[in-house]
Amino acid sequence: MRDWHLEGWVNADAFSGDFQNAAAPYLTEEAAMVANGPWFVSTNLRTDAAAPGLYEHTGYAPAPGWTEGERGSVVVSGAGWVSGAADEREAEAVEAFVKFMTSEAEVLTQAEQTGANPPVQVAPEAAAAADLEPLSTGLAAEAADLTYRYPHARVLGPAGLDSAWKNLWPAYVEGDMTTDEFLQRLTDDSSADGL
Amino acid sequence: MSTVTSHRLTRRAAGPGRRPARAAAGTPVPRGMRGPVALSLLPGLVLFGTFFLVPFAVLAVTAFAEWGGLDFTWTGAENYRRMFTDPVFFKAFGNTLFYAAASVLVQVPLGIAVGMVLALRPRGWKALRTIIFVPFVISGAAYALIFSMFYNPRSGLLNNVLGALGMPGARDWLFETATARWAVAGTFVFIIGFVVVLVMAEIASIPRELYEAASVDGATTWQQLTRITLPLLRNVIGTAILIRLLVDIGMFDLVFILTAGGPDDATATLALYAYRAYVAGQWGYANAIGSIIILIGLVLILTVRRAFRIGERTL
């Protein structure tokens, strides 16, 4: 990733890590690729912010960048629910709610409306019958064969990772610290053990 | 031509019928009014206690503990020992001083100069005063976002203007170690509206007779500005410096939005560093840093008040 910066393969404003700095050049067809998830389709790609016809020109691919031939993806979980129900009646209601939210019909409805993938496995014929986003479903199918699949650090990583990354990454790319120093400080600064 | 000095003004101001140099202290409350006075003070005291004294006590006590919201362990002065061996703390401390110095050395003198000029009421002074004051009332977050776009290396106004002028090499001003701190300071040192308004209000309160007398004595406009106006602005200059310093030692939102303290803590402030400690679950360490910010604030208040004799009047 540092080489991408040094060789100019990423935007000059990629350091800030701000979403719009990545999205805007892609939507205006100044950038060839944007790293993002299926929600990007309905929230950006199919809106007036995108250049005309951009959706039709957009494909997908798992992330390269590992050993030759190996590819990977970063998986982002959707919203979850935590119940604080204490009595039996409320617990029954929570159970019914969760069963409804994870039912095949409901997850497919959500997937159709948001452009994201169903968060639970559904029958192939039901998925085929639903009006799912092809960019999203195709990538999900391909992801099954990837060498690497990582949970998104912002969702499952330590709370301080975002600000630690933004603080250290530019200095690392500029050569102010070695890879080992960068990784050690990123670990320390983003975790509860250090700053 | 006789010279109008601040010394003469002081002597004249101290004559009969003038306000005394120091306000009388400790005026006793009449016996029958003590109950109502105490009652009227009660809401303020409760609010002050709830929202200042209690949090302050919590901060002061927990600065001596390892605390993350759940576990609480007394560690004595360990947080302070750690702080004084922590290079990032000293970086943040130095940056905070840098921002404070930038404010005092640029913002205050510039605000005073512009305020003095606008007080002469040149053509369009009202419109200018409004334009100058607008940046001061914009929220810090919105202001930071405007400048993050201004400094954007790809589409920002600064690089585009420099490019149009033929200057080579678009820079990422906020994320290069060499330029980041200066770029952050550049966003606020020219926000002079508050100082300008303070200065103009103070100048409006200066008796016109002083200028008339000086004019009769043959003083030029420049001499009136430098020998009447400026010396009488001592109080307001001290107040402006104090307010700027106190704002700057607690600076957070601007830096957090622009750079998150990076690159490599080149722009981090004490308040931002305390926040990071808080997010990392090190509330005791965060509060120890907070206590240092409070201590610096107290030292600044005492020093600036004394240096500028804020509250004392010579007129």
Per-residue pLDDT tens over the stretch A39-59? 888 889 989 999 999 999 999
Whether the pLDDT of residue B258 is over 80: the answer is yes
pLDDT of residue B196: 94
Determine which of A5, A178, A195 to mutate to test the interface with B (most B C-beta atoms within 10 Å): A195
Q: Report whether pLDDT(B274) > 50.
A: yes
Q: What is the mean pLDDT of residues B7-17?
A: 41
Asked if the Cβ–Cβ distance from B264 to A177 is below 8 Å, we say yes
Q: How far apart are the first and last CA of chain B?
A: 23
Only one residue has tokens 């700095």, namely A21
Mean pLDDT to the nearest integer, A81-110? 89
The fold for domain B88-308 equals: MetI-like fold (1.10.3720)
What's the DSSP call for residue A16?
Answer: G
Block residue for tokens 């001003």: B173
pLDDT interval class at B5 (50, 70, 90): very low
Residue A156 has pLDDT above 90, yes or no: no
**Helix, strand or coil for residue A49?**
coil
**Which of B155, B172, B260 shows the shortest C-beta gap to A167?**
B260
Q: What is the pLDDT of residue B9?
A: 42
Q: Please give the helix or strand (H or E) that residue A97 lies within, else none.
A: helix A88-101
Measured between beta carbons, which residues in chain A are less than 8 angstroms from residue B92?
A: none
Site of tokens 């303290």: B261
Task: Give the pLDDT of residue A51.
Answer: 96
Q: How far is A7 from chain B (nearest CA, A)?
A: 15
Nearest to A170 among B170, B263, B277 (CB): B263
Q: What is the pLDDT of residue B314?
A: 61
What does the pLDDT read at residue B77?
A: 93
Crossing angle of the two packed helices B234-249 and B283-308, in degrees rounded to 10:
170
Helix%, strand%, coil% for chain B, nearest 5: 65, 0, 30
Does residue A13 surpass a pLDDT of 90? no
Residue A43, Cβ density class (10 Å: 0-12 exposed, 13-18 middle, ≥19 buried): middle
Residue B231: exposed, middle, or buried by beta-carbon count in 10 A (0-12, 13-18, 19+)?
middle
**Which residue in this structure is represented by tokens 């975002």?**
A162
Cβ <8 Å between A159 and B276: no
Q: What is the pLDDT of residue B13?
A: 40
User: Is pLDDT at B6 greater than 60 in this prediction?
Assistant: no
Measure A96 CA to nearest chain B CA, in Å: 33
Across B77-94, average pLDDT: 94
Question: What would the mean pLDDT of B92-104 be, rounded to a whole number?
Answer: 95
Q: What integer pLDDT is reported at residue B254 of this predicted model?
A: 93
**Total residue count of chain A as it appears in this document:** 195
A155 has pLDDT over 80: no
pLDDT at B92 over 90: yes
* pLDDT at residue number B79: 95
pLDDT, residue B174, reads 92
Distance of alpha carbon A106 from alpha carbon B152, whole angstroms? 43
Q: What does the pLDDT read at residue B313?
A: 67
Read off the pLDDT of each residue in B8-29 and give the average, rounded to a whole number: 50
A58 vs A136, A139, B271, CA distance in Å? 12, 13, 44
pLDDT exceeds cutoff 80 at B155: yes
Nearest to B267 by CA among B142, B102, B94, B84: B94
> Cα–chain-centroid distance for residue B32?
42
Q: With bands split at pLDDT 50, 70 and 90, how would you rate the model's confidence at B190? A: confident
Query: With pLDDT > 90 as the criterion, what percentage of chain B qualifies?
Result: 63
- Under DSSP, is residue B168 helix (H, G, I), strand (E, B) or coil? coil
Which pLDDT score is estimated for B303?
94
Identify the residue with better confidence: A115 or B142. B142
Looking at residue B2, what is its pLDDT? Answer: 40
Q: Which residues of A touch B145 (CB under 8 A)?
A: none
Residue recorded with tokens 């840098």: B98
DSSP designation for A72: E
Residues B198-212 have pLDDT tens digits of 999 999 999 989 989
For the beta carbon of residue B110, count every other beta carbon within 10 angstroms.
16
Rounded mean pLDDT of chain B?
A: 87
Half-sphere exposure of B192 (CA within 13 A, CB side): 24
- Does A157 reach chain B within 8 Å, measured CB to CB? no
Q: Which residues in chain A touch residue B152, judged by CB atoms under 8 angstroms apart? A: 13, 21
Give the residue extent of every domain in chain B.
88-308
Is the pLDDT confidence value at B16 over 50?
no
Q: Is the dihedral of CA B195, B107, B241, B259 positive or negative?
A: positive
The residues pairing with A151 across neighbouring beta strands, listed in sequence order, are A75
Q: Say which of B176, B259, B260 has its CB closest to residue A174.
A: B176
pLDDT for position A143: 83
pLDDT score, position A20? 84
Q: Residues B117-126: what's their mean pLDDT?
A: 90
- Classified as helix, coil or strand, B66 is strand
Distance, C-alpha B31 to centroid of its chain: 41
- In this prediction, residue A78 carries a pLDDT of 65
Q: Among B80-84, B219-223, B277-281, which stretch is predicted with the lowest mean pLDDT?
A: B277-281
Closest CA relative to residue B229, chosen from B141, B119, B128? B119
Please name which of A60, A55, A56, A49 lies closest in space to residue A23, comparing C-alpha atoms.
A49
